[in-house]
Amino acid sequence: MQPSEKAAPVTWRRLAPLALIALGAALAFFLLREHISFAALERNREALLAWRDANYALAALGFIGAYALAVAFSAPGAVWFTLAGGLLFGTLLGAAYVVVAATAGATAIFLAAKTGLGDALRAKAGGWLKRVEDGFQENEVSFMLAMRLVPAVPFFVANLAPAFLGVRTRTYVWTTFVGIMPGTLVYASVGAGLGEVFARGEQPDLGVIFEWRVLGPLIGLAALSLLPVAIKALRKTKRI
C-alpha cells in the first residue's frame, strides 16, 4: 500500500468474518480440545474406516471440509487430523487432501484478517513497523516459503501475520500450498502406519519431524528459499 492510499474504514461488516473466526476458535478450543487426540483416533478408527469404505468420495470431501474448518477456526489438534488423513487415505492421497484443506482454511483466515484489520493497520504503520512491512513485502515469496517449510512458527501465527504485513493473496495461497507439502507428507506417512502402532499398543512418534534426517532437508529448503534475500542484502551492502 502506497503512503498516499487510504485504507477503507474499519466497520462491523468488515470485522464480522474475523469476529466469526475468533468466536469459532474459542468454541473449538473449549469444546474439542479433549476430543481430538490419539486416544480418540484409536477409539474411532474402525468407525472412520467403515465411513470411508461406505462412500469414498463423500468421505474424502467430508475430510477436506472438516480439516479446512479446523484450520480456519484454529481448532486444537490439527496434527491429529493430518494423521487421520494418512490413516484413512494413505500417505500420498492423505497428504494431498490435507494440503488442499489446510490451504483453503488458511486462506479463509488470512482474508478475514486482511480485510478486517490488515489494511487499516498497514495504513497507520510507521517507524520500525513500516520498515518491517516493506522488507517483508519486498521478499514475500522467500519469507513465506521459509515460514511454511520450517515448523518453528505456530501454524495459526503463520496464517495471520502475513495478513498484517501486506502479503498478496495470490502469493499467500501458492506459497502456503507448496510450503506445507513436505511436513504434511511426513505426518501423513506416520498416520498411514497407525494400524501397526495401534496393534502394538503404542503411540505415534510425533517428534519425527524434528529428527535431523527430516528437519535437516526442511531447513535446507528454507535456506534455499531465503537465498534471494541474502543476495539482495549483499548487493545493497556493496553499493553502500
Give the model confidence (pLDDT) of 206-235 as tens digits.
777 777 777 777 788 788 788 777 777 776
Cβ–Cβ < 8 Å for 133, 122 = yes
In this predicted structure, the answer to whether residue 145 has a pLDDT above a threshold of 60 is yes
The CB-based long-range contact list for 18-24 (8 Å cut-off, 24+ gap) reads 18/112, 18/113, 18/116, 18/117, 19/116, 20/112, 21/72, 21/73, 21/74, 21/108, 21/109, 21/112, 24/69, 24/72, 24/73
Instruction: Give residue 4's pLDDT band: very low, low, confident or very high (50, 70, 90).
Output: very low
What is the domain partition of the chain in residue ranges?
Answer: 12-239
- Closest CA relative to residue 148, chosen from 103, 212, 104, 112: 103
Global confidence as pTM: 0.79
Place of cell 496434527: 79
In this predicted structure, the answer to whether residue 62 has a pLDDT above a threshold of 70 is yes
| The pLDDT value given to residue 129 | 61
pLDDT tens digit sequence for 152-170: 777 888 888 888 888 899 9
Place of cell 528459499: 225
Q: What is the mean pLDDT of residues 116-131?
A: 58
